[in-house]
Structure 1
Amino acid sequence: MHEPHGPKRLSDIVTGVETWYPFFIIPPKRPNRMWVDWKGDRPVVLRPGPQIRKRMFTVFFNYSGPLVVDILPQDTTMTATYYVQNVLSQVKSAINEQRPKVSASRTLLLHDNAGPHKARATTQPLRGLGIQFLSHPAYSPDLAQCDFWLSPILKDRLAGRKFDRIQDLAKAVNSELRTIPEEDYQDVLRKWQIRLKRCIESHGGYFEGL
């Protein structure tokens, strides 16, 4: 579908995911690695507890860069109604503003198989607009651009920084999204294409080297 002369264009893909962002992201383990004497104690590495303060962000991007950053209100659950009315409505507006002369039927929506994404309350309104869905294999975060690329990059860049207010955390997330070059957003879609090919070649089996 997405080959150079295929019927679909990578530039038509819009992808997004929900991710929890703590107000303090503990740095990853790798920088804390060190050699110790066999009698020595291992260095103490902090781990996030279950009660850590955090908020859910939904981030959508396409070939040109970030489109939408939505913050789920505190003490609220992500539902199909919220997803359609608050998230996808922003995505649709952002696409129309960015590509006013392009039909909605050209949009290829790629998100994972979370309940709010697959609910009838979500799929029916989008089909009514002519928006096409790209299927995503279950339990395959290695095939989701947000999971294997965007979310790890953002959390790595925010690691070690403490935020007291949601406004400060949101400002930092938005700022980091916009410092990522447009070429990187385009490159990750090409890498996604390579991963799909490797998955097909391995008949859905396990593989390494990406």
Structure 2
Amino acid sequence: MWVDGQGDIPVVLRPGFQSQKRMFAVFFNYSGPIVVDILPQDTTMTATYYVQNVFFQVKSAINEQRPKVSTSRTLLLHDNAGPHKARATTQSLRELGIQVLLHPAYSPDLEPCYFWLFPILRDRLAGRKFDRIQDLTKQ
């Protein structure tokens, strides 16, 4: 890194747990997160991974919470990312009886995550330190 000598030297994190970038798939309802899936490191989220790994967890969690109705009458709002719109994903959602709500294009301010989920996560995780990424999902 080049520094001109006039500014402060930026702090560089040592490689480790805190400097790793990971993707989380979080499914939540009115009471908070019901499924948190951590995408394995150096893996890309694909429709296949989404359907085979994440949906399995979501279906199980919904069945536990609502055994009589299961996934029927479930509404899902997700963005327009490729894995969310893929044929495998839409077919699996249809088979589970999950209705997808249309996500308005270019409307990040309408995302429930920004005004509802992120504040809950911030409050639950505030002041805590974790040694492993997997420990985050237990909170």
Q: What interval of TM-score do these two structures reach, taking the shorter chain for normalisation?
A: 0.7 to 0.9
Q: Secondary structure at the match of 2:88?
A: helix
Q: 1:75 aligns with which of 42, 52, 68?
A: 42
Q: Give the % identical residues.
A: 80
Unaligned runs of 5+ in 1: 1-43, 176-210
Q: 2:81 aligns with which of 91, 94, 114?
A: 114
- Give yes or no for the alignment of 1:92 onto 2:46: no
Compare relative contact order (CA 8 Å, sep 6+) and give the higher one, 1 or 2: 1
CA contact (8 A) 1:141 1:148 kept: no
Aligned residues: 127
Spell out, residue by residue over 1:89-126, the C-alpha distance to the aligned partner (whole angstroms, 9 max, x if none). 11111111110111533111111111111111100121
Over the residues paired in the alignment, what is the CA RMSD in angstroms? 2.8
TM score, norm. by length of structure 2: 0.75
CA distance in 2, matches of 1:129, 1:167: 28
CA contact (8 A) 2:32 2:120 kept: no
- The 3 A distance-change label for structure 1 pair 162 and 64 is closer
| AA aligned opposite 2:33 | P
Unaligned runs of 5+ in 2: 1-7
CA distance in 2, matches of 1:106, 1:135: 16
Aligned position for 1:147 = 114
TM score, norm. by length of structure 1: 0.52
Q: Secondary structure at the match of 1:104?
A: coil
The equivalences for 1:1-210 within 5 A come to: 52-151=19-118, 153-155=120-122, 158=125, 163-168=130-135, 170-171=136-137, 174-175=138-139
